[in-house]
Every structure is written in C-alpha cells, then in structure tokens.
Amino acid sequence: MADHTAIAAVSRTLRTLLRDRMSNAVTVTLAPPDISIAGAAGPRVNLYLVEVKQTGDLSNLDMPGRGHPASYGQPPLSLVLHYLMTSHSQQDDQQDSDINAQVLLGDAMRVLHDLGGRIEAQAITRPAVGIVGQPILDPALQNEFERIKLTLRPIGVDEIVKIWSAIPEANFRRSVVYEVSVVRIESGRPRRQAPPVEARRVFAHVARRPFIASAYVTPPAPNLPRGEMRVRVGEEITLECESVRAARLYVRLGRLEPIRVPPPADGVVRLIVPDAQYPIDLDHAAPRPIPAGDQLQPGPLTVQVIAIHETEGVSGALDAGVHLLQDRASASNVALFQLTPRIVGIAPAGGPAATLLQIVGTRLWTPDGASEAILGDAPVVIRPPGPGDPWAAPTPTAIEIPVVEAARFLPAPPAGGVAHRLSVQVNGARSRDPTMFTLTP
C-alpha cells in the first residue's frame, strides 16, 4: 500500500503519461496557474492539484489481505484528487496562439480519455521521458489493490470562474478538471492483533427470559380500574410478569441501581417508586440515599425486570474442561411509565390576578428542564426570581407563581369568581391532581 508520497506519485504519473503519449512532445508542468516556470517558455500543459477530498465509501474498509482476521482494523486514508489542467501556447499575443493552446488541450484530453482508466498497463515509449519499457505508473503506486482511474469532471463556467478568482494575479484561461480516484495512503500506526483464545468457557441454561405482560400504577382499591401509566414518586407500580422464577430477581427503574424483590409465585411484582432513598430490599437491610443527580425526574420512566439464574458451564482448552457454576443475568422487555409532578397543596385557594400563589408538592421544578404551572389553559413559566420579582426561588417541593401572568389570557371572572384547574408540567409530564384555584375579580 502507498505511503504519504502517494499524492505526489499520482502527479508524477500524470506528467509522465502526457509527456509520453501526446502527439507532439511538449513540456508538462505541475504548478499553480499564476507561477511562471523557469525553462518552460515553449508550448506546455500545466496540471495543478486544486482539491483533495476523502471518499466516505472506503473510509472504514481495510485492504483485503493486509491484516489477520483477528487483528484490529487500520483503514487507510482514501482520497480523491481533482486536477485543474490548462494549456499554454509558446506566445500568447500571436494571431493563432489561442488556436495552438486549444490543440494542446485537445491532445492532452485525448490521452487522458484513452488511457486514464488503465494507466497501470502502460509503458514508456519515448527515450526522452525515461527508460523505454518501464511502467508509466510511479513506483509508489505499483502493486496496489486499488488502481487509479481518471474521469473528466463536468463542471460549469461558474465553478471554473470561482477557481480562477482565487488567483487574482493570473489571467483567466480555459481549463478542465479531472478527478483521480482512488488514492489510498496506509496508516502509520502499528497494527494490533488480539491474543489467541487459550481457554474457552461455554454456558447454557434452559430458563426463559422474563417478560412484562402488563404494567400500571397500583389502584388504591382492588375493584378500581387498572391501566394508569402516570406515576408519582411514593406510589406503587404493579408489573404482571412471566418467567420470573429465578435465584434472584431485580427491578430497574430508569437509571437507578436495580432493586431486589422476592420472586413472586403468581408473577405479580409490586414496587414503590423511590424519592430520595432506595427502599429496604433483600440485598440491603437499611435505606440508602440516592444521589441528587440520579434521582428520578418527571418525564418517561423505563422499568425492566432482571432475573439472575445459576448457570452451568464448562471451561477449558483442549482438555475435557472443568465444570463451572456462574450467575447469569437475563433482562426483560422494557415497560414505560410517565413520572409526573404532584401537587399536595396550594395557598391561597383563590384570589384576584394580583395573587402570589404558592404550590407545594414533589418534583414541581427542575433546573435542567422546562417547568411551568398551568392555570386553566394559560401557562406560567416557573423560573428563579429576577431583580424586583416578588416570588421566592423555586425548589422541587415548593414554587410560587404570579397569577397575573395566567389571568391576562383568561376570560374576566364573574362577580363570584370562577374556578380553574391548576396543574404543573415538568419535562412534558403534567400532574394528575384535581387541584382548583378560584380566580376572583
């Protein structure tokens, strides 16, 4: 595979190809269009590498046969090169100077069109170019898996003008752009190979993966309907499961540590959603604090059951192996709840638009998400007070809102006042408490 000299090797190859196969032997230069080349005063063709781009198709593909199947991949840098080709007459101020430049351009384009797809098969024919019979392809590009191919890139006058406008000292000259692909540069990092497997371990068990068939908030009475998916901290959830007979059984709520529960005989698992402490479980005899950053917040809440089974296995190399017993975890499907804020009380229960309303409860506000109180259908953003604001700083358990920010969007209340439903919404999860505030004139 080519090294870092591959780009220069492509340029040398194109120069050799044009010098050897154009009808008339002319000078071929590799320089920016605004540079005068010493000793190149006659007719010439100039190639300028104007753009280098990485090709995404091969960016993650290693070269076939370059590495061991167990080694870590080291994909090479795969590039596409764009060359600006211009032609120059011996003198630019003669009557046929431009005609002669057009002839040179057509001759060069013919060579690249005929041979641009099979340069690796061409040999030098002119002694002035090199040793006759030697490959035209530069030695740095020989024996490559990918062969370089030239194609004429169709670009409009606008694109050509943009290129020449970046060279203010050069006069505009007719140009064509050729694309060369693909050039692959081998990585300089050493290849790593994974060590061979010297000992194998195989485990097998016949227990089925646990499955959550139904999940809902436990009704306050057995005869009440089931199916409520909006849960609050401190409430109990019910999981109706299958295949939960296991040595140990855990329930994982969101990103909390799994909580161990006794394997139920009837497949029904019940668990209280924790607030700031993990509950006592079969692995912990006392409550443990939940770090503030890990505590459950309003929004989607995932629930999963994890069964731990004692699994038999065999460990060994080429011998009969050794019998093993090891615990293996099997996770269920994921059930989804919505954790909502909870309003415990408000003060006062009613008042005019100038009222400063205090709301207490749980998960009423979070600094990391959108929080708002909704009076009727008018929202009030829950936010820390600014200079001159009369409300206190919000906390997850207590907030204060100016009723006037919602009242301006509500109809004027009658003489006796009108009751509006009050709720709190955090991260898109709205409280489900039937709390009412009476707006009076």
The answer to whether residue 192 sits within a structural domain is no
Please determine, for residue 153, whether its predicted confidence score (pLDDT) is greater than 60.
Answer: yes
Q: Are strands 277-278 and 288-289 parallel, antiparallel or unpaired?
A: antiparallel
Structure confidence by residue, pLDDT tens digits, 19-40: 999 998 899 999 888 777 887 7
CA distances from 381 to 325, 347, 387, 437 (A): 57, 18, 17, 17
In whole angstroms, what is the distance from residue 119 CA to residue 136 CA? 7
Q: Do 288 and 318 sit in the same domain of this protein?
A: yes
The answer to whether residue 35 sits within a structural domain is yes
Sign of CA dihedral 110, 116, 122, 126: positive
- Average confidence (pLDDT) over 132-154: 88
Q: Do 214 and 275 sit in the same domain of this protein?
A: yes
Please determine, for residue 391, whether its predicted confidence score (pLDDT) is greater than 90.
Answer: yes
Structure confidence by residue, pLDDT tens digits, 290-319: 998 899 999 999 999 999 998 888 888 888
The answer to whether residue 431 sits within a structural domain is yes
| Bigger pLDDT: 126 vs 67 | 126
Q: What percent of the chain has pLDDT over 90?
A: 60
pLDDT grade, residue 399 (50/70/90)? very high
pLDDT of residue 393: 95
pLDDT of residue 71: 56
In whole angstroms, what is the distance from residue 147 CA to residue 182 CA? 7
CATH of the domain at 401: 2.60.40.10
The answer to whether residue 33 sits within a structural domain is yes
CB 19 within 8 A of CB 25: yes
CB 319 within 8 A of CB 196: no
Q: How many CB atoms lie within 10 A of CB 215?
A: 21
Q: Which domain holds residue 317?
A: 204-339
The answer to whether residue 409 sits within a structural domain is yes
Q: Do 352 and 304 sit in the same domain of this protein?
A: no
Single out the residue of 65, 53, 202 nearest to residue 143, CA to CA.
65
In whole angstroms, what is the distance from residue 276 CA to residue 284 CA? 16
The domain tally of the chain equals 3
Length of the chain: 441
Q: Do 312 and 423 sit in the same domain of this protein?
A: no
In whole angstroms, what is the distance from residue 143 CA to residue 9 CA? 13
Structure tokens at 42: 């006659």
The answer to whether residue 198 sits within a structural domain is no
pLDDT grade, residue 150 (50/70/90)? very high
Q: Are strands 44-54 and 27-30 parallel, antiparallel or unpaired?
A: parallel
Q: Do 155 and 278 sit in the same domain of this protein?
A: no
Q: Do 287 and 349 sit in the same domain of this protein?
A: no
Q: Do 357 and 308 sit in the same domain of this protein?
A: no
Among the residue ranges 51-55, 151-155, 189-193, the one predicted with the least confidence is 189-193
pLDDT of residue 65: 60
Q: Do 175 and 123 sit in the same domain of this protein?
A: yes
Q: Do 321 and 348 sit in the same domain of this protein?
A: no
**Which of the residue ranges 65-69, 72-76, 155-159, 413-417 has the most confident prediction, judged by mean pLDDT?**
413-417
The answer to whether residue 212 sits within a structural domain is yes
Of 310, 339, 368, which closes a domain? 339
3-class DSSP state of 314:
strand
**DSSP β-bridge partners for residue 324:** 313
Q: Do 359 and 259 sit in the same domain of this protein?
A: no
CB 428 within 8 A of CB 365: no
Of 151, 185, 219, which closes a domain? 185
CB 50 within 8 A of CB 167: no
Structure confidence by residue, pLDDT tens digits, 268-295: 999 999 999 999 999 999 999 999 889 9
Q: Which ranges of 47-142 would DSSP assign to H, the alpha helix?
A: 97-115
Please determine, for residue 66, whether its predicted confidence score (pLDDT) is greater than 70.
Answer: no
Residues 6+ apart with CB under 8 A from 255: 294
Q: Do 230 and 287 sit in the same domain of this protein?
A: yes
Question: Which residue type does 319 have?
Answer: D
Sign of CA dihedral 256, 259, 263, 266: negative
Structure confidence by residue, pLDDT tens digits, 328-339: 899 999 999 999
pLDDT of residue 369: 84
CA distances from 411 to 116, 378, 379, 402, 419 (A): 78, 11, 14, 17, 12
Of 185, 218, 241, which closes a domain? 185
The answer to whether residue 233 sits within a structural domain is yes
Structure tokens at 191: 């290849």
Structure confidence by residue, pLDDT tens digits, 345-365: 999 999 999 999 999 999 999
**Element housing 404 (H / E):** helix 404-407
Q: Do 240 and 271 sit in the same domain of this protein?
A: yes
